[in-house]
Amino acid sequence: MLGGKLFADAGGDVIQIEPPGGSASRIPPYYKNIQDPEKSLFWFVYNTNKRGITLNLQKPEGRELLKKLAAKADIILESSVAGYMDSIKLGYSDICKIKPDIIYASISPFGQTGPKSHFLASDLTSVASSGFLNACGDPDRAPVWIGFPQSGQYAGAEAAIGAMTAYWHRLNTGEGQFVDVSMQESNMSANMNTLQMWDVNKVEFNRVGAVSYVAATNVKQPIYFKCQDGFVMILALGGNPPYVPSSTKLVQWMEEEGMAPDWLKNLNWEVDYNAAVLKQELADKVGKAIEAFTLTKTKTQLYNEGAFERQILIAGVSNTKDITEDIQLKSRNFWTTITHPELGADVPYCGPFAPFSESPIEFKRRAPLIGEHNQEIYIGELGLTKADLTTLKDKGVI
């Protein structure tokens, strides 16, 4: 759905197809917590600017209708179990027969072919397969994921980039093609440098938790600190720039507020707090002194004054409320609203994924209701009659 949203936001005419009764993706959370498939916030977010129809692909009539739609489409995006679309004769080779230059993008856990192509995955197991899960969490407990599913979003974005790449090729050559997206691969680049650490130096990176970990000495330097209303990260490290000047400025700030003990004022960040010689005892002592200071302030105070006025390497651990109130996002007019007439409300949304100067993204319509554009598309664009629609409805096709 995210892949289609990118096209829809960028101006494409995207039709979201769901089974009669509504998609399984109309999941919680719900608008005002009212459990109703028409109020799924998950659905709202990923289907902006799309039209929507219902269609039952398990019925032969449904499959015929999909072919009619495909004949008019540039791109098909789908994420069913690998091989399923082929099994119902709606796979890439089937669609090619009626639309030879179609671009057909499939998202699956491991790709369409290969030894694991038949494996099932959830978002969590997908992060495990990418190696990224292994890098996250406290060492004394199980690895942890990012609490809101990310893998499917990475894969959706990949499908959009892949389809767009194929589209460019079609503009050049007239040729369509198949786009085979792997969720496992999609989450893999987030490993940053851990795969290369193994491949190049045979160093196996494992999760270290909320610290800066010095592999050579096994010392864990605290960089997350409790404050009045949550946590902040301060890269209170030494050795070289940009850390030394930042840490020095932090101590100055603490001193101004009478919270820097003498030993801390005298600490040489370049020499004494250098990772090569640093002992755990000193790291813990410094961490405690900093936390005593951060506990006197809020996230916003620490971030606004620390990062901007004092040039300290600091970031608040923001929650969704902090993000909502963030002054930078407000000042760039990031947020938008979309009218949902049936809710009688303008619902707040994240703004564009990127600001285009010449072709800015506009949010022209909210996500479609179940079958909202059935008439418009089946009658208006595929040439069916009202009577046809009634028959199809009775047969459970739409």
Partner 1 sequence: MSNQPFEGIKIAEFAWVVVGPSTSRYLADSGATVVKIESHKRMDTNRINGPFVNGIPTPDGSMFFGKHNPNKYSVSIDLRHPKGKEIAWRLIKWADIVTEAFSPGTMEKLGFGYEDVKKVRPDIIYFSSSMQGRGGPHSSYAGYGQNAVNFCGLTEITGWPDRLPSPPYGACSDYISCRFSAFALLSALAYRRRTGKGQYIDQSQFESTIQFMAVPIMDYQVNGKIMNRNGNRLPTAAPHGVFPSQGDDRWVAISVMDETQWHQFCRVIGNPALATEQKYATLAQRKKNEDELEKLVAGWTVRHTAAEVEQLLQSAGIPANCVEKPSDIYQDPQIEHRHYFTPLQHPFMGQQKYEAQECFLLSKTPRLLDRPSPCLGEHNEYVFKEFLKMTDDEIADCIVAGAITTEFTEKMTSSF
Could you give the CA distance from residue 58 to residue 85 in angstroms, rounded to a whole number?
11
Which amino acid, one-letter code, is at 10? Answer: A
- Please give the residues from 38 up to 97 whose contact with partner 1 meets the rule CB under 8 A: 41-42, 44-45, 92
Residue of 23, 145, 221, 294 that binds partner 1 (CB under 8 A) = 145
Does residue 102 bind partner 1 (CB under 8 A)? no
Does residue 329 bind partner 1 (CB under 8 A)? yes
Q: How far is the CB of 123 from partner 1 (least distance, A)?
A: 8
β-pairing verdict for 177-182 and 103-108: parallel
- CA dist 287 → 102, 129, 208, 268 (Å): 59, 35, 16, 15
Per-position x/- string for 309-328, each x denoting binding to partner 1 as judged by CB under 8 A, each - no binding:
----xxxxxxxxxxxx-xxx
Does residue 179 bind partner 1 (CB under 8 A)? yes
- Please give the residues from 248 up to 307 whose contact with partner 1 meets the rule CB under 8 A: 303, 307
Q: How far is the CB of 15 from partner 1 (least distance, A)?
A: 19
Does residue 28 bind partner 1 (CB under 8 A)? yes
Could you give the CA distance from residue 39 to residue 62 in angstroms, rounded to a whole number?
26
The count of residues interacting with partner 1 (CB under 8 A) is 144
Residue 79's CB is within 10 A of a number of other CB atoms, namely: 20
Measured from the CB atom, is 21 or 380 closer to partner 1?
21
Q: How far is the CB of 95 from partner 1 (least distance, A)?
A: 13
Nearest alpha carbon to residue 47 among 78, 15, 81? 15
Give me the helix-helix angle, 123-130 and 151-173, nearest 10°.
Answer: 80
Which amino acid, one-letter code, is at 221? Answer: Q
Could you give the CA distance from residue 274 to residue 283 in angstroms, rounded to a whole number?
10
- Please give the residues from 351 up to 390 whose contact with partner 1 meets the rule CB under 8 A: 351-359
Residue of 58, 334, 375, 390 that binds partner 1 (CB under 8 A) = 334
- Please give the residues from 219 up to 258 whose contact with partner 1 meets the rule CB under 8 A: 224, 226, 230-233, 235, 240, 242
- Please give the residues from 103 up to 122 whose contact with partner 1 meets the rule CB under 8 A: 105, 110-111, 113-117, 119-122
- CA dist 55 → 13, 15, 82, 348, 368 (Å): 18, 11, 20, 30, 14
